[in-house]
Structure formats: structure tokens, C-alpha cells
Amino acid sequence: MITNKNCIIRLSRYKNALYRLQALGFVKVFSDNLADAVGGTASQVRKDFSIFGISGNKKGGYQIDSLLEKMNSILGKDQLQKVVVVGAGHIGSALMRYRGFEKEGIKIVAGFDIDPAKINRSNPVPVLPLEEAKSFIKSNGIRIAILAVPDIAAQQAADLICASGIKGILNFAPLGLKSGDGCIINNVNLEIELENLIYFVNVTEKTK
């Protein structure tokens, strides 16, 4: 089993680059093309492919359509992924309206909030009371949730949805969460991302 997160992230990037190349009319691709496209080395592309059991043709490179097929299968994109958003504040609402997930086979099917003012059952993506989250998640077999609640509420909300059957949480709360049982948490911390960027901008300024 592959545990290298960066490796999986590269796989996603390869896939995205391949779609762009395909749209431009390319049918096959070489490891160095792909390396260029995602900003890596040709060696690493081939190494990654080898890890995933993807093979090409000596001197002939890789067929883009068959590459995409394999990658999509590895990434679990052969079936629509239904996702819920917990927290309908600025970030949560923006994610519910964001169209970028559709082309990736990811569909946000509902949002949840404790604030009655945020409830709206007739939205394209309905926003429901948090109390309904458990039954909704269970009856729809949802496994993935996006958590976009204020940090104070984050752990409690995480516990709730984990107990409801959620297996993976993309956490936007600026706070590390404890995940009980078999629930995986990936953090997207915008403050930290910006801080990080600021740090590297500062140090490169200084050393210049």
C-alpha cells in the first residue's frame, strides 16, 4: 500500500495535466513532457508510474487515454463521490457553490449548519439543520465531509460526523483535530498557507 501522500498528489497533477494535453489533441506523452507539465523530473514520473503498476512502451511513451483510465481507477474516480459540507459560513457556502468539483466527479449534495437562518431546503445544494446530518449521512451513504465551521465548534462537529459514518474529513478549521476510529482528516489551513508563503517571501528577499 502506498502511504506517500506526495506521490498521490503528483498522481492527481499528472491526471490534470493529461486532460489538458488531451484537450490540445495529444494522444501520447513521454515521461519528460509530463515532468515539464507538472514541474518535476522525468525519473520521478516513471518511478511513480512504476509504483502504481502503470507501464508504457519503450520508445513509444504512454497512451494518454489508457493512462487516464488507470489513474482514474487508482484515484477512485470511476464512481461519483458524494460529499457534504458542514458549516454554511463564508467558506462553506463558497464551496457549495463552487463548480470546480463537478468535472472531478465530486458532487456536494448537502450542507449543514446550526444557525436556523442559514437553513434553505430549496437551494441547488440544500442547507439542512445539523441535527439532520447523522440520518442524512447514513441514509445516503456519504463517506466524505468538508468541515468549514468556526474553530470552537470544529472538534464537536468532527466527532458528530465521524460517529455518523464519515470516513474522511477535509478540515478548513484552523485547528488540528483529533480523529477517533477510522476517520482520516486532511487539513487545509488557509492562515498557515499564507504564513508559509510570507515566510518564504521574506527569506528569499533577505538572502537576495
Partner DNA sequence: ATCATATTGTTCTATTTTTCACAATAACAT
Partner DNA sequence: ATGTTATTGTGAAAAATAGAACAATATGAT
Chain residues binding a copy of itself by CB under 8 A are: 1-2, 5, 8-9, 12-13, 16-17, 37-39, 74-77, 81, 83, 90-91, 93-95, 97-98, 100-101, 104, 106, 143-144, 146, 167-170, 174-176, 182, 184, 186, 188-205, 207-208
Which listed residue (19, 27, 41, 65) binds DNA by CB under 7 A?
A: 41
Give the one entry of DNA, a copy of itself, none that residue 4 binds, where binding means its C-beta sits below a cut-off of 5 to 8 angstroms depending on kind: DNA
Q: Per rule CB under 7 A, is residue 3 in the interface with DNA?
A: yes
Whichever of 49 and 112 has its CB closer to DNA, that residue is 49
Residue 63 contacts DNA per CB under 7 A: no
On whether the CB atoms of residues 112 and 129 are closer than 8 A, the answer is yes
Does residue 47 touch DNA according to CB under 7 A? yes
- Of 59 and 196, the one with the shorter C-beta distance to a copy of itself is 196
- How far is it, in rounded angstroms, from Cα 30 to Cα 206? 39
Residues 6, 9, 15, 20: is their CA dihedral positive or negative?
Answer: negative
The listed partner (DNA, a copy of itself, none) that binds 169, CB under 5 to 8 Å by sort, is a copy of itself
> What are phi and psi for residue 53, nearest 5 degrees?
70, 25
Q: Which set of grid coordinates corresponds to residue 152?
A: 470552537
Q: Which residue has the cell 483535530?
A: 177
Stretch binding DNA (CB under 7 A), from 14-22, 53-61, 74-82, 92-100: 53-61
Q: Comparing C-alpha atoms, which of 59, 64, 56, 71 is closest to residue 28?
A: 64
> Which residues are paired to 29 by β-bridges?
62
| Site mask for DNA (CB under 7 A), range 67-96, x = bound | ------------------------------
Helix (H, G, I), strand (E, B) or coil at 94: helix
Separation CA 81–CA 96 (nearest Å): 14
Give the angle subtended at the CA of 80 by the CAs of 49 and 2, to the nearest 5°: 30
Applying CB under 7 A, the residues found at the interface with DNA are 3-7, 30-32, 40-44, 46-47, 49-50, 54-62
